Amino acid sequence: MLDVRKSLREARANGFAIGAFNTNNLEVTKAICRAAAKFDRPILIQTTPSAIEYAGLNSIFDIVRDEIESSKIKAAIHLDHAKDFKIIKEAVEAGYKSIMFDGSRYSFDENVAMTVEVVQFAHENGVCVEAEVGVIAREEGGYLSGQSILSAPEQVKKFIELTGVDSIAVSVGNEHGAPKGEKINLPLLQKIADIIEIPLVMHGASGLSSGDIREAISIGVSKFNIDTKIKHAFASEIEGSKAEDYRDALKEGMEEVEKVVAHYIKIFNNL
């Protein structure tokens, strides 16, 4: 499995980014791995708590691990948007080596306190930790649940110093769900990158232009999350399929996911 902490630092130091692609099932996982196998570049395959609820923790972990190993790609499994310690503990015990704790909707002090607990547990088990400062209004899936709060540079720096996280996700105009008009506040992102050393993470990247993504990479973003574009590609192709055998319809969906993932790997790696 990929050394996530090391790979993220290498990405920031060398001006590329790691694509983190979300999955919920065997078919999407296979498609992600097939796309990654075309390039000698590291990726992450992510599962959210809702994906784990849908597929089962051990089942989805085994699927992703087996597909990574059989395809011989440079990849690791990442837990995305975990909001309580219970699911983090279960994921680490199952074998996850990279996790994201999302305490962004708590107060700064509460977010710090909970993240410190997560970091201590994760690092004791050799697990890389991502956290988040600032609030992205749209939750996983694109559901609007409040107002965005842009990340404040000095607050991000203080959070990192207090918690010891390995990477940090920020809110700089990015949104889950690929809403129209999604645009990164590049000057704000630059201010954050100028005063921190750890890798930056961009959630909600499906709605961003390739130009904004490349600009963000040059500033210091080392990981981009792609979920919405994968879901839309898979579902729309299956819905429009004329196949009589559902397996053939699923294959058509997989082919579209493979195209989406390959497209982003090229952008993230300047290929």
CATH code of the domain in which 128 resides: 3.20.20.70
Domain encompassing residue 138 = 4-268
The parts of the chain modelled with pLDDT lower than 50 are: 142-145
The 10s digit of each residue's pLDDT in 203-220 is 988 888 999 999 999 999
Catalytic residue among 3, 62, 80, 166: 80
The 10s digit of each residue's pLDDT in 121-130 is 999 999 999 9
| 3 state SS for the chain | CCCHHHHHHHHHHHCCCEEEEECCCHHHHHHHHHHHCCCCCCEEEEECHHHHHHHCHHHHHHHHHHHHHHHCCCEEEEEEEECCHHHHHHHHHHCCCEEEECCCCCCHHHHHHHHHHHHHHHHHCCCEEEEEECECCECCCCCECCCCECCCHHHHHHHHHHHCCCEEEECCCCCCCCCCCCCCCHHHHHHHHHHCCCCEEECCHHHCCHHHHHHHHHHCEEEEEECHHHHHHHHHHHHCCCCCCHHHHHHHHHHHHHHHHHHHHHHHCCC
Domain count of the chain?
Answer: 1
Catalytic status, residue 194: no
Query: What local confidence, expressed as pLDDT, does residue 173 receive?
Result: 80
